[in-house]
Amino acid sequence: MSTKTGLAKRVSNYELFFDLAFVLALRALNGSFHMEHISGQNILLFVMANIVLMNIWFNEVLYYQKYGDSRRADIYTVIALMFVVGHLAMNFNLDTSELGAGSPVVVQFNSLLFLAYGLISLQYFIKGRVHGFNRDMKLSMLSLLLYMVPLVPFMIGIGGWSIWMSVVYILPVLIPLLSAKLFYSGEEDLPTNFPHAVERGQLITILSFGESVIAIIGSYPIGETLINGVFLFTAMAFMFINYMTQTFIAIDHHSKKLVAPLFYCHLLVVLGINFFTVSVEFLADHHHAELGQILLLIAVVLFYLGTYFLTVYNYPYYQFKTKNILHLSIGLLVTLLALWLVGPSPLWLGLVLSISSYLVSQYVMRFRMKARQKHGLPQPDTRLNLRDFS
């Protein structure tokens, strides 16, 4: 999937309105992780729930960047989808004992997910009736149908939580990438818009970081655990800076590469941030502090893998060489080791991650400065361009 034109498509106000549903969804999703006893299955369910949420977002973003124009049909259907996502979020439940075949949670959750995919498919159908059906519209509707059909057994009470449910939820992650490789020969076949895709990815990431802000401030009140909160907040802030400098400065916003991997990278980024959010909440509770430390390690790995997989979209002169990848990989491993050795202490974990994330930002900034010097590009003058944070 590539951009057909170098012109950026503006993110519409209705897309921003739609994102409000994900504020509720992210909060409900992270809140569903707070259980007395947490097993590997519960962690897997958390991952699956993140994937489901991002699948809905991903498919709606694809529709809007290809065909959405905020006419009445688009407005009414995105509002309906927003309503469905909000209610789906209220059905996030990671307790496997309540996810048996025919349970109200399973039936209602999968029925709402079926309806969400159906609404996106309806958007393609309405647009096709107006402008004519092209091959991409037909393939998109077929893909959404393939997402919907496996949900039927769970909707009618035949299926419950099992490894097969995981397969059903992962399927929508794989089909877009496979279909892009199999059915699209070039940018003329699929009019997606890369600048719009980058901006949408940034917005969902910002929403996820917003939940982290709430979690840290809520879990570490200024009058009780100020220092712990300061270091965890600083760590989170430097993670945000690292992500934004990568997507704001280093990425070629008019890239002609496939769009689908951009969303898969953001799936890792958002999943990492959500793991970070629940980890800082668990660290504040001594009963779950050790689990919080493990979740923080997972969060750091996922977040930085997602962020630096995005470097494939960088300007040619900002592409990492083998030595840069090696340096960043060693830094990540050292960070993980240090985070493990300091134990489940919010103060020390926050301090280590703050220092590590700051050093990463300095390393990447110096890399960009050397790259510009090597290619004869002017260095940014912060006195003239206050928006260039490189």
**Contact yes or no for 269/203 (Cβ under 8 A):** no
Q: Cα separation of 344 and 123, whole Å?
A: 48
H or E, element range at 83? helix 72-89
| Domain ranges (residues) in the chain | 1-191, 193-390
- pTM score of the predicted model: 0.89
The residues, any chain, with a CB within 8 Å of residue 292's CB and separated by 6 or more, are 278, 279, 280, 281, 282, 283, 284, 285, 344
Within 10 angstroms of residue 73's Cβ, the number of other Cβ atoms is 17
Q: Are 52 and 117 in contact (CB under 8 A)?
A: no
CA distance 14 to 21: 12
Query: Strand, helix or coil at 192?
Result: strand
Residue 82 CB partners (closer than 8 Å, separation 6+): 17, 18, 20, 21
Neighbours of 16 (CB within 10 A): 10
Tell me how far apart the alpha carbons of residues 128 and 67 are, in angstroms, rounded to a whole number. 10
Give CA–CA dist 2/12, Å, rounded.
20
The pLDDT, as a whole number, for residue 325 is 93
pLDDT in tens, 1-42: 334 444 556 777 778 888 888 888 999 988 888 887 888 888
CA torsion, ordered 139, 119, 253, 302, to nearest 10 deg: -100
**Predicted confidence (pLDDT) per residue in 275-316, tens digit:** 999 999 999 988 889 999 999 999 999 999 999 999 989 988
Quote the tokens at residue 390: 């490189």
* H or E element, residue 191: strand 191-192
pLDDT in tens, 282-292: 999 888 899 99
pLDDT tens digit sequence for 234-250: 999 999 999 999 998 88
Share of the chain above pLDDT 70, in %: 90
CA angle 126, 127, 133 (to 5 degrees): 105
Pick the more confident residue, 102 or 326: 326
Instruction: Determine contact, residues 341/293, Cβ cutoff 8 Å.
Output: no
**Tokens linked to 110:** 């999968």
Average pLDDT over residues 362-390: 76
Distance of CA 334 to the CA centre of its chain: 25
Give the whole-angstrom CA distance, residue 112 versus residue 155. Answer: 9
The per-residue pLDDT for 183 is 55
- Contacts of residue 360, defined as CB under 8 A and 6 or more positions apart, other chains included, come to 238, 242, 304, 328, 331
| Residue carrying structure tokens 């034109």 | 5
For 162-217, write each residue's pLDDT tens digit: 777 788 888 888 776 666 655 555 544 455 678 888 888 899 999 999 999 999 99
Instruction: Identify the H or E element spanning 2.
Output: strand 2-3
How far is 337 from 332, CA to CA, in rounded Å? Answer: 9
Q: What is the pLDDT of residue 390?
A: 42
